[in-house]
């Protein structure tokens, strides 16, 4: 699971959960896969992402210092930040770990890079 995908995942489908976002991420094993940097792509992707989710991902990945607390207004001209975001969101691949619902504590394991978000019938 790349951290861009993490940015979209929620546990809101669980009965009684109000927001279910961001999920608590734990990384046990990760891989870094280099990919081509496309500044336009990152810049246009940003408005679709949740900044608090990006911050949380950076924290867990140990890249806290790379990502500012707030999204700067002139990010398009800040290629250095775009590169850091590119690395955080598209190059880090979580192989083993887990996601946890912030409200119920329900754990979703990540195995071989695939989060299992499947809920039981009685949870929904």
Partner 1 sequence: MTKDYSSRKLERKQRRCEAIIHTDVGIESSEKPTCFLAILNAGLSTGLTEESVLSNAIQYAPVQQVIMLPNKSYCFLKCDNVNNAERIYNHMHGRAGLEQRGGVVYLSYFKSLPICKEENIWTKPLPEGLVLLPDFLTESEENMLLKAINIEDVEQSDLKHRRVKHFGYQFIYGENNVDPTKPLNEKIPNECDILWPLLKTEMTKLGLPTWDWDVPDQLTVNIYEPGQGIPPHVDTHSAFLDPIFSLSLFGDVVMDFRRGSDRQPLKLLRRSMLVMSGASRYDWTHGITPRTLDVVPSETGLTVMPRQKRISLTFRRLRRGPCDCTFPTLCDSRINAQSNLCPVITDVIAAQLEEKNVHSVYDCIAPHFSETRHTPWPRVAEFLRSFQTGSVLLDIGCGNGKYLQCNNNALTIGCDRSSGLINACLERAKIISETSTNLPNAFRCDCLHVPVRSQAVDGCISIAVIHHLATAERRLAAIREMARLLRPGGRALIYVWAKDQRANDNKKSAYLLQNKALNKNKTTVEQQRQCAAAEVQQQQTEQFEPLIPGAPQLPVHTNRTDFMQQDVLVPWKLKGASVANKDANNSAPSSTYLRYYHVFESGELEAMLAQVPDVELVQSYYDQGNHCVIFERRQK
The answer to whether 70 and 64 have CB atoms below 8 angstroms apart is no
- CA-nearest of 110, 68, 111 to 88 is 68
Compute how many other C-beta atoms are within 10 angstroms of the C-beta atom of residue 34. 8
The span of 55-63, 66-74, 77-85, 106-114 binding partner 1 (CB under 8 A) equals: 106-114
> Is residue 107 part of the contact set for partner 1 (CB under 8 A)?
no
Q: How far is the CB of 17 from partner 1 (least distance, A)?
A: 11
55: tokens are 């911050």
The span of 4-12, 59-67, 70-78, 80-88 binding partner 1 (CB under 8 A) equals: 4-12
Please tell me the distance from the alpha carbon of residue 18 to that of residue 20, in angstroms, as a whole number. Answer: 6
Binding site for partner 1 (CB under 8 A): 1-2, 4-5, 8-13, 21, 33-36, 38, 40-45, 48, 50, 93, 112-119, 121, 124
């Amino acid at each position: 699971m790349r951290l861009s995908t993490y940015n979209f995942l929620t546990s809101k489908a669980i009965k009684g959960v109000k927001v279910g976002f961001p999920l608590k991420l734990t990384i046990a094993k990760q891989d870094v896969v280099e990919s081509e940097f496309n500044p336009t792509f990152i810049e246009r992707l940003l408005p679709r992402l949740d900044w608090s989710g990006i911050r949380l991902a950076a924290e867990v990945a140990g890249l806290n210092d790379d990502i500012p607390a707030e999204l700067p207004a002139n990010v398009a001209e800040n290629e250095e930040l775009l590169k850091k975001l590119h690395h955080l969101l598209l190059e880090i691949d979580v192989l083993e770990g887990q996601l946890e619902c912030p409200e119920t504590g329900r754990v979703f394991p990540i195995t071989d890079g695939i989060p299992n978000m499947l809920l039981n019938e009685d949870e929904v």
